[in-house]
Amino acid sequence: MKNLNLEGFGVQEMDAKEMREVDGGGLLDVVIGFLVDRAWEHRHDIIGTHKAISAAYKKHPEAFLK
């Protein structure tokens, strides 16, 4: 079995500390990922609500000007 020599591509070996620093991330990434995931799963509800509000505004714009 052949091994690919990555040194010719400028790839260097990383130790565990470097991997943690490069990988990064943390609680903020988890929270943002969770919020984006929830928004993506509920996108149809969000779009439907927007369409309903737009339709109501077109029929009765004066109700939104109070």
CA distance 66 to 60: 12
Structure tokens at 27: 């609680």
> Which pLDDT tens digit goes with each residue over 18-65?
666 555 567 888 889 899 999 888 888 888 888 999 999 999 988 888
Distances (CA, A) of 50 to 8, 36, 56, 65: 54, 18, 10, 17
Residue 18 confidence (pLDDT): 64
Q: Report the half-sphere exposure of 45 (CA within 13 A, side-chain side).
A: 5
The answer to pTM > 0.85 is no
State pLDDT tens for residues 6-22.
677 777 776 776 666 55
